[in-house]
A = this chain, B = another copy of it.
Amino acid sequence: MKLAKTFAYIKKDLIEMESVLEDTIKSENDTLHHASLQLLKAGGKRLRPIFVLLASMFGETDKQQIKKVASALELIHMASLVHDDVIDDSNVRRGAPTVKANWDNQIAMLTGDYIFAKALDQFTDIDEPRAHQLLAKTMMELTLGEIEQIKDKYNVDQHLRLYLRRIRRKTALLISSSCQIGAIVSNTTADVERTLFKYGYYIGMSYQIIDDILDFTGTEKELGKPAGSDLIQGNVTLPVLYAMEDVEFKQQLKIVFEQRDSLSKQSYYPIIEYIKQSNAIDRARDLSDAYLKKAYNSLGNLPDNKAKKALEEIANYIGKRKI
């Protein structure tokens, strides 16, 4: 909810959306109820609902409907996080134990399935086939991104293109779809809709790149999980890709990856240190900045209003965020 402070005028909607979220995940089943609630209470920036709400301000909005759409998109994000934690075998997220850590992988899988179904249920009021189509396609892309991430793990011979496609699917499309769906359900012009989709896409790409940078530069307290976790899990992110242009480093990483089953986490520390001190971090930040600039510039065509101002502020905030 950090971002909400920046634009007080959607704060009320966000607070109301939060209670829609809380009502939605209620379940007669104790396990599902507690697992979902734990996830919700662990927080998060509610970035997707914020984009739905802001995008809707460029058209005619039915506030009740928009809050449902906003919460549906957050629920899909939450469900994908629960399944992610199963895949990455993660025990901590946002400083709190994950569903799979507190219960087990099976319960986490079903909790994710349940939250997905709840999200769809929230979405069924929306009488806009295009919004449904976009949501379904985005969910397919999300899964494709996840499966590509598994496939590309521990692979030092991959290129920038593969990384960009992965983060587009894994992160950027759900954010761009949040913007576009907010536009669709409030009947904006086709131009505005296209602009918001593009903006969301650029923001999403930058957002994931910053996430991948913070995995190296953040403290455990800021990240809510140990630094370098992504690398230790075999994820070859943008800073790693840049650092691997040094052939010796690439060879060293390759050996560590190959011997990972017999190595401790500590074996990764020199590699993490190397990346932090190389120019890889700066270069990754440059690419993120380039996306943010595109995001910012894409807004030029939009009518001037408070929502546009907020979207500009977000584009400025994303690059500076520490968590």
Q: A42 within 8 Å of B by Cβ?
A: no
Query: Chain A 244-256, CB within 8 Å of chain B: the 1/0 string?
Result: 0000000000000
The segment from A59-67, A136-144, A185-193, A300-308 that touches chain B is A136-144
Q: A29 within 8 Å of B by Cβ?
A: yes
Whether A147 contacts B29 by the Cβ 8 Å rule is yes
**How big is chain A's contact interface, by range?**
35 or more
Measured CA separation A120–B132 after assembly (Å): 8
Most chain B Cβ neighbours within 10 Å, of A146, A147, A150: A147
Query: Chain A 115-135, CB within 8 Å of chain B: the 1/0 string?
Result: 011101101110101001101
Q: From residue 224 to 271 of chain A, which have CB atoms closer than 8 A to chain B?
A: none
Assembly stoichiometry (copies):
2
CB-CB nearest in chain B for A105: B105
B residues in contact with A112, CB < 8 Å = 113
Whether B110 contacts A146 by the Cβ 8 Å rule is yes
Known: A124-B129, A132-B124. A110 touches B143 (CB 8 A): yes
Whether A86 contacts B114 by the Cβ 8 Å rule is no
Given contacts A29-B147, A105-B105, A124-B129, 13 further A-B contacts (CB under 8 A): A28-B144, A32-B143, A86-B105, A87-B109, A87-B110, A114-B143, A114-B147, A116-B139, A117-B136, A120-B139, A121-B133, A124-B132, A124-B133
- 25 A-B Cβ contacts within 8 A? A27-B144, A28-B144, A31-B151, A83-B109, A86-B106, A87-B110, A106-B150, A107-B147, A107-B150, A109-B109, A110-B146, A112-B113, A113-B139, A113-B143, A114-B144, A114-B147, A116-B139, A117-B142, A121-B137, A123-B136, A124-B129, A124-B132, A127-B127, A127-B129, A132-B132
Binding site for B on A (CB under 8 A): 27-29, 31-32, 83, 86-87, 105-107, 109-110, 112-114, 116-118, 120-121, 123-125, 127, 129, 132-133, 135-137, 139-140, 142-144, 146-148, 150-151
